[in-house]
Amino acid sequence: MARKRTQSDTYSDRPKQIPARSPEARENQMIALAVDLAEKQLIEGTASAQVITHYLKLGTLKEQLEREKLEKENELLKAKTEAIQSAQRVEELYSNALEAMRRYSGDYE
């Protein structure tokens, strides 16, 4: 049997949010609302099995290790990107130095 909606189930007691200026910000607003609703359902004991399972999985050691792995992979990608950019700067400096030496030695091309 469906439970009756109460006044607290409506959005009228929620403060009005400022409209998002970008799709990403809107998505973040929607995620925040969904998490708030899931929290409310968990507190009231009305959460679905899927919601409960989702939050149980987030607390597992496996999930924590996967998050840590993703963070490390992101750090590695950033380091590789910085190394590539650094190599490009070094190559440019060598090129400029060689060009300066050619001009200094009188070798004009």
Q: What is the DSSP secondary-structure string of the chain?
A: -PPPP-GGGSSTTSPPPPPPSSHHHHHHHHHHHHHHHHHHHHHHT---HHHHHHHHHHTSHHHHHHHHHHHHHHHHHHHHHHHHHHHHHHHHHHHHHHHHHHHHHT---
Mean pLDDT for 37-61 is: 94
Least confident interval from 3-17, 66-80, 92-106:
3-17
Mean pLDDT for 56-76 is: 94
pLDDT band at 102 (very low <50, low <70, confident <90, very high): confident
pLDDT band at 109 (very low <50, low <70, confident <90, very high): low
More confident residue, 102 or 17: 102
Computed over every residue of the chain, the mean pLDDT equals 86
Taking Cα atoms as reference points, which of 70, 34, 30 lies closest to residue 50? 34
Q: Is the pLDDT of residue 14 over 90?
A: no
Q: Is the pLDDT of residue 12 over 60?
A: no
pTM score? 0.54
Mean pLDDT for 21-50 is: 93
